[in-house]
Copies of this chain bind each other. A is one copy, B any other.
Amino acid sequence: MLFKNITILDENFIARKNMYVGIKDDTIDYIDKVEPESDYGDSYDGKGKLLMSGFFNAHAHTPMTLLRGYAENLSLQDWLTKKIFPFEDKLNGNAVSAGTLLGIAESLKFGIVSTSDMYYFCDDMAKAVLESGVKNNLSRGVVNFSEDDIDLLPGFQETKHLFETFHNEGNGRLKVDISLHAEYTSNPKTAEHLAKYAVKTGANVHVHVSETESEHNECKRKYGMTPVRYLNHCGIFDTKATAAHCVWLEGEDFDILADQGVTVASCPVSNLKLASGVCNVPLLLSKGVSVAIGTDSVSSNNSLNMIEEMKFFAVANKGKQFDPTLVTPVDALRAATFAGAKSQGRNDCGRLSQGFKADLIVLDLSSPNMHPVHDMATNIVYSASGSDVLLTMVDGRVLYRNGEYLTIDLEKVIHDVEKETGRILGELK
């Protein structure tokens, strides 16, 4: 495809008008002010439109679309024990498949090209990812308090099966990560075993860290260490790791994350809505930690709207720390694109740059909310609406365009979602 006469947001988040961008197979092959001589196939009229990197969602639980708006206005404890856990107990492969496809459709609508997911029924999720054409770093969240042989633990066996079956499938679109669900849902033996498996396979690690104050303090009471220090001690950060949330970090936690090259996946909407707090993004950035953005699950967000998430990401710390100079729109854009791709081990993704993968989105610039343009990056983060995304392309393939899905039968997916949620609600009665 050749994007013609389009405004681009380049790799430095600077807008450049009237550009030509040629896509060859899955790669950005040409970027210039001059029309290329090579034939790139279909052309796309870029008038009134902006081309930029798609978004990389660094922390999600995609099938939880099924629980959108199901558990609201509750304390965290009631939310989990009275609503989320009983509902999840009724899930099966069909339900997870339908929920995953719905979440992928929503992700594409909001310009997300790749997602780091932690959940279960992962075979069904893997199939949905491969069929729909998106990218995903998939992991089975391992929870374990027992002292049994970890090799025999179903969660670990599923992780191994998943890694051996699906890692790097779909021309590398699907990667399998290793997930320790969290410190507070496991014991040291489990953490150490998963860490060793990750080192052995070279897989990425994905883990929840210091999301709530009580979890953070309980870890200190139990082990005499913060969750970051404890996990580091267990070897969890010995490979490339993504630590989700990190709301209650303190002291040397920031330095450990920096030294170990851990990416923090900040989830500002979920953290505010569940009343967990605000991740100290400015301090992380000043320490040199790579910070990406996660939507967390739809049951706590309740959407996968990355443009909205960037706005929350940029303003949450301004408001909390009473300093309007903290976290710029470019910080937010970097987190939502390149830092997310990097956290997924996709170093050739997340930049509109020659030779990078063609994971791109087109934004509508003709709307009143995108005028005037004093600064394009600022307009994208603060003034665009999620639904201003007109086209989403992954590995050079258009998956979403003007409300239509090219690889997903949305009507069927919605039908399946309604059937499965109806079944579950019926069983819970």
Answer whether residue A338 sits at the interface, using C-beta atoms and an 8 A cutoff.
Answer: no
Stretch at the interface among A120-128, A223-231, A314-322: A314-322
A302 pairs with B372, CB closer than 8 A? no
A272 pairs with B378, CB closer than 8 A? no
A72-B378, A277-B319, A328-B72 known; A386 and B385 CB under 8 Å?
A: yes
| Most chain B Cβ neighbours within 10 Å, of A67, A75, A387, A417 | A387
In the complex, what distance in Å separates the CA atom of A99 from the CA atom of B403?
30
Contact residues of A between 339 and 388, Cβ < 8 Å to B: 367-369, 371-375, 378-379, 382-388
Answer whether residue A301 sits at the interface, using C-beta atoms and an 8 A cutoff.
Answer: yes
Which residues of B lie under 8 Å from residue A302 when comparing CB positions? 378-379, 382-383
Which residues of B lie under 8 Å from residue A213 when comparing CB positions? 322
A385 pairs with B385, CB closer than 8 A? yes
Q: Which range holds the interface residue count of chain A? A: 35 or more
In the complex, what distance in Å separates the CA atom of A388 from the CA atom of B374?
26
Answer whether residue A410 sits at the interface, using C-beta atoms and an 8 A cutoff.
Answer: yes
Stretch at the interface among A2-10, A104-112, A188-196: A104-112
Which residues of B lie under 8 Å from residue A315 when comparing CB positions? 269, 272-273
B329 pairs with A72, CB closer than 8 A? yes
In the complex, what distance in Å separates the CA atom of A373 from the CA atom of B323?
38
B73 pairs with A328, CB closer than 8 A? yes
Contact residues of A between 53 and 73, Cβ < 8 Å to B: 65-70, 72-73
Copy tally for this chain in the complex stands at 2
| Most chain B Cβ neighbours within 10 Å, of A315, A318, A379 | A315
Stretch at the interface among A23-31, A139-147, A169-177, A304-312: A304-312
B385 pairs with A316, CB closer than 8 A? no
User: Secondary structure of the A side of the interface?
Assistant: helix
In the complex, what distance in Å separates the CA atom of A184 from the CA atom of B382?
29
Answer whether residue A34 sits at the interface, using C-beta atoms and an 8 A cutoff.
Answer: no
Which residues of B lie under 8 Å from residue A311 when comparing CB positions? 269, 308
Answer whether residue A258 sits at the interface, using C-beta atoms and an 8 A cutoff.
Answer: no
Tell me the nearest residue of chain B to A303, going by C-beta. B383
Which residues of B lie under 8 Å from residue A375 when comparing CB positions? 69-70, 72
Answer whether residue A275 sits at the interface, using C-beta atoms and an 8 A cutoff.
Answer: yes
Answer whether residue A325 sits at the interface, using C-beta atoms and an 8 A cutoff.
Answer: yes
Tell me the nearest residue of chain B to A274, going by C-beta. B324
Answer whether residue A14 sits at the interface, using C-beta atoms and an 8 A cutoff.
Answer: no
Answer whether residue A241 sits at the interface, using C-beta atoms and an 8 A cutoff.
Answer: no
Besides A271-B319, A277-B319, 18 other CB < 8 A contacts? A65-B372, A66-B372, A67-B374, A68-B372, A72-B375, A106-B369, A109-B369, A110-B369, A110-B385, A273-B319, A273-B382, A274-B318, A301-B382, A302-B382, A303-B385, A372-B418, A372-B421, A385-B387
- Jot down 6 A-B pairs with beta carbons below 8 A, ordered by A: A67-B374, A72-B329, A273-B382, A275-B321, A368-B414, A371-B414
